[in-house]
Amino acid sequence: MRPQVLIIGCGFGGLEAARALRAADVDITVVDKTNHHLFQPLLYQVATAGLSAPSIAAPIRHLFRSQRNVTTLLGEVVALDAAARTATLSDGTRLHWDHLIVAAGATHSYFGRDDWAAHAPGLKTLDDAFEIRRRVLLAFEAAEREDDPARRAALMQFIVVGGGPTGVELAGTLAEIARHTLPGEFRRIDPRQARVLLVEGSPRVLQAMPEALSERAREQLAALGVEVRLAARVTGIDADGLDIATASGTERLASRCVVWAAGVAASPLGRVLAQATGCALDRAGRVVVEPDLSIQGHPGIQVIGDLAAAHSHAPGREPQPVPGVSPAAKQMGRCAAANIQRRLRGEATQAFRYRDYGNLATIGRHSAVVDLGTPVGPLRFSGYAAWLFWLFAHVYFLIGFRNRFVVLMDWAWAYWTYDRSARVVASAALNGASRASDAPA
């Protein structure tokens, strides 16, 4: 029997690891909680009705159809046994491993305030995206029915918490929808009067970017009509809005549609792994890994992607923490696969080294900021050229030809018409429309 490689999670890290083992003489089992690999950088487009779910989600077993050494299983790992080297799925299925790669990713974190979740959904899964789409669209619908001016204003106030790439993209797109997509379709309200607020705790948006680009992003958001509140700490969220604290005091912001793009926590599978192996977790619940991405005392178990508290080991430099971005997850996937092959050949494993090719974020139609590392130094630009660069980079990295094509067509359509093609709310659960308190947590 060939060595058994078990990969838990098929995000960017797990997918890349399995692909890198394409020619290896191993049997690979890929387990994921969903049936699809999700192109998360475009998930905000599903949430804002620009793309349909199938455009950014590819069935995992379809991606592996011609890689004959991969078996795909839909399932959730609920227990791990490091001595017996088995993983147990929630339906009782047991899977054996000789080499384990844990790539279970991250979920949102409400900084210990899980009661906020019901009032401010995050954006990690397709279900999350549908929920945000539903709340945004139903808020405008409820405003059209509402006669009371104060309640109507609250319904037309949208708040995004968190000024990272997701928050910036969401806020920019919401402003575009209000100003360009919806006007003309309502008779009682004017969607252009909707307010979109972006609340960020630190003094600038896009903290991973150089300060000048953060400032450009803030300007572009303002030009789109987004009110950016910097250095504003969220102190409470309920069904009718949120409370923020700033240097100038506290403020209440009424809203029936708050989106959470602020905190990220490691997958709960980190704790399961810690129980099984005694490995250490950091404050965010991420698994502390050795330089070669394995966990201490368990060379056969590697942790990659957002679940790993990993460092980059470049020759002659201090180890640097690896950011939670998709290029890092992919590189860790390739590193883990290479280390498995080295172990199979009896060679020593190698330390992970992260190559940072840069950083980009889009703000809306025609606006983006780009920060690239090049051999001759950083290349930084913003505006229209950055937006085109962002567009083609994202379409290029989309999985599968068809998805790329469909996404490009959808965007071309949206670009020329300002229309958003996926403005469909499936759920008949009308009452609860935009009332966060009624929504499932």
Q: Point out the residues that are catalytic.
A: 169
Of 124-132, 170-178, 306-314, 387-395: span binding a second copy (CB under 8 A)? 124-132
Residue pair 244/237 in contact by the 8 Å Cβ criterion: no
Q: Which is nearer to a second copy, 95 or 386 (CB)?
A: 95
Q: Which of residues 145-204 bind a second copy (CB under 8 A)?
A: 145, 184-188
Taking the C-alpha atoms of residue 426 and residue 158, their distance in angstroms, rounded to an integer, is 21
In the complex, least distance from residue 440 CB atom to a second copy, rounded to whole angstroms:
11
Taking the C-alpha atoms of residue 294 and residue 351, their distance in angstroms, rounded to an integer, is 10
Q: Which is nearer to a second copy, 98 or 219 (CB)?
A: 98
Of 32-40, 251-259, 291-299, 390-398: span binding a second copy (CB under 8 A)? 32-40
The correct pick among 36, 108, 135, 256 for binding a second copy (CB under 8 A) is 36
In the complex, least distance from residue 117 CB atom to a second copy, rounded to whole angstroms:
15
Does 53 engage in binding with a second copy (CB under 8 A)?
yes
211-224 and 165-176 are packed helices; what angle lies between their axes, rounded to 10 degrees?
20
Q: Which is nearer to a second copy, 124 or 342 (CB)?
A: 124
The correct pick among 59, 210, 291, 299 for binding a second copy (CB under 8 A) is 59
Does 329 engage in binding with a second copy (CB under 8 A)?
no
In the complex, least distance from residue 49 CB atom to a second copy, rounded to whole angstroms:
8
Taking the C-alpha atoms of residue 51 and residue 111, their distance in angstroms, rounded to an integer, is 30
Helix (H) or strand (E) holding 251: strand 249-254
Enumerate residues 6+ apart whose C-beta is below 8 A from 344: 3, 24, 25, 26
Of 149-157, 297-305, 370-378, 427-435: span binding a second copy (CB under 8 A)? 427-435
In the complex, least distance from residue 3 CB atom to a second copy, rounded to whole angstroms:
17
Number of residues that bind a second copy (CB under 8 A): 58
Share in percent of the chain as helix, strand, coil (round to 5): 35, 25, 40
Q: Which of residues 80-99 bind a second copy (CB under 8 A)?
A: 89-91, 93
Q: Which is nearer to a second copy, 72 or 109 (CB)?
A: 72
Q: Which is nearer to a second copy, 209 or 422 (CB)?
A: 422
Q: Which is nearer to a second copy, 84 or 430 (CB)?
A: 430
Strands ordered across the beta sheet of 94-96:
77-81, 86-89, 94-96
Does 40 engage in binding with a second copy (CB under 8 A)?
no
Smallest CA-to-CA distance from 330 within 356, 309, 351 is with 356
Positive or negative, the Cα torsion across 319, 324, 326, 332? positive
Residue pair 192/179 in contact by the 8 Å Cβ criterion: yes
Enumerate residues 6+ apart whose C-beta is below 8 A from 43: 56, 123, 124, 126, 128, 129, 166
Smallest CA-to-CA distance from 210 within 420, 370, 338 is with 370
Q: Which is nearer to a second copy, 114 or 211 (CB)?
A: 114
Enumerate residues 6+ apart whose C-beta is below 8 A from 108: 117, 122, 123, 124, 260, 262, 263, 264, 265
Residue pair 407/51 in contact by the 8 Å Cβ criterion: yes
In the complex, least distance from residue 391 CB atom to a second copy, rounded to whole angstroms:
20
Half-sphere exposure of 399 (CA within 13 A, CB side): 23
Does 238 engage in binding with a second copy (CB under 8 A)?
no
Amino acid identity for residue 335 in this structure: C
Two structure tokens written together for 340: 């498995």
Does 126 engage in binding with a second copy (CB under 8 A)?
yes
Binding characters for a second copy, 346-385, by CB under 8 A (x = yes): ----------------------------------------
Q: Which is nearer to a second copy, 79 or 424 (CB)?
A: 424
Two structure tokens written together for 335: 């590193």
The correct pick among 235, 275, 296, 427 for binding a second copy (CB under 8 A) is 427
Of 198-206, 261-269, 315-323, 411-419: span binding a second copy (CB under 8 A)? 411-419
Does 127 engage in binding with a second copy (CB under 8 A)?
yes
**Residues at the interface with a second copy (CB under 8 A):** 33-36, 52-55, 57, 59, 61-62, 64-66, 70-76, 89-91, 93, 125-127, 130, 137-138, 141-142, 144-145, 184-188, 402, 406, 409, 413, 417, 419, 421-428, 430-431, 433
